[in-house]
């Protein structure tokens, strides 16, 4: 990878001596007065960390200078967001962001939620089902209805309990 790397920059800025030296260099101080309170060894280590990270560089006069483009360069290194696959395409932060228009994909999403929220053989009241589905959406009534319509959740005729259908 060419140019500065964010980990090296952050490591340099996490070091008190390097951070102090960087601040002074940005403000235009010349070596060695910018970090005069440090002994030679600490000063050299701080400057070496700044040079290695790319936070500072030597100009034509061999003086230390802080390039103005470093942070812009670091931001261009951000990786592109990877395309999501499977049910993750329809979720955001663990909640349903949108329901798929494609019925096979919608069934896949609903089946995944049922498998996560309700154990096989478990019988739940409507209140308990709603509590569990609330972590996936605010509209638990619609989600529960979709699950019933797709045959992924069964309701007793009295409506007193819900369960996953028995495996056949």
Q: Which two tokens stand for residue 143?
A: 């989600």
77, 5 contact by CB (below 8 A): yes
Q: State the DSSP code for 33.
A: G
Q: Is the peptide bond before 110 cis (omega within 30 degrees of 0)?
A: no
The per-residue pLDDT for 1 is 43
Cα-to-chain-centroid distance, residue 108: 25
In the chain, the largest separation of any two C-alpha atoms, in whole Å, equals 87
Structure tokens at 115: 């498998």
Name the nearest CA neighbour of 88 among 113, 70, 63.
113
Task: Identify which of 115, 112, 81, 83 has the alpha carbon closest to the alpha carbon of residue 99.
Answer: 112
Q: Specify whether the CB–CB gap between 147 and 156 falls below 8 A.
A: no
Tens of each residue's pLDDT in the chain, 168 residues: 455 788 889 999 999 989 988 988 888 877 655 566 778 888 889 989 999 999 999 889 888 889 988 888 888 776 666 667 789 999 988 899 999 999 999 999 999 999 999 999 999 999 999 999 999 999 999 999 999 999 999 999 998 899 999 875
Write the burial class of residue 15 (CB in 10 Å: 0-12 exposed, 13-18 middle, 19+ buried).
Answer: middle
Tokens of 43: 């000063």
pLDDT at 73: 83
- Sequence-distant (6+) residues with CB within 8 A of 17 are 35, 38, 42, 43, 45, 46
Query: CA–CA separation, 148 vs 142, rounded Å?
Result: 10
Give residue 36's pLDDT. 66
């Amino acid at each position: 990878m060419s140019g500065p790397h964010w980990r090296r920059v952050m490591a340099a800025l996490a070091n008190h001596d390097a951070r102090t030296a960087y601040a002074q260099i940005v403000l235009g101080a010349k070596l060695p007065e910018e970090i005069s309170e440090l002994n030679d060894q600490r000063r050299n280590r701080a400057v070496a960390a700044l040079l290695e990270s790319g936070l500072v560089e030597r100009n034509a006069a061999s003086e230390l200078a802080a390039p103005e483009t470093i942070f812009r360069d670091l931001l261009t290194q951000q990786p592109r967001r990877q395309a999501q696959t499977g049910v993750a395409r329809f979720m955001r932060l663990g909640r349903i962001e949108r329901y798929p228009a494609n019925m096979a994909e919608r069934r896949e999403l609903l089946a995944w939620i049922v498998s996560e929220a309700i154990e096989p053989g478990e019988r739940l009241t409507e209140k308990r089902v709603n509590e569990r589905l609330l972590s996936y959406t605010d509209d638990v009534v619609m989600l529960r209805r979709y699950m019933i319509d797709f045959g992924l959740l069964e309701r007793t005729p009295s409506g007193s309990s819900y369960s996953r259908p028995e495996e056949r």
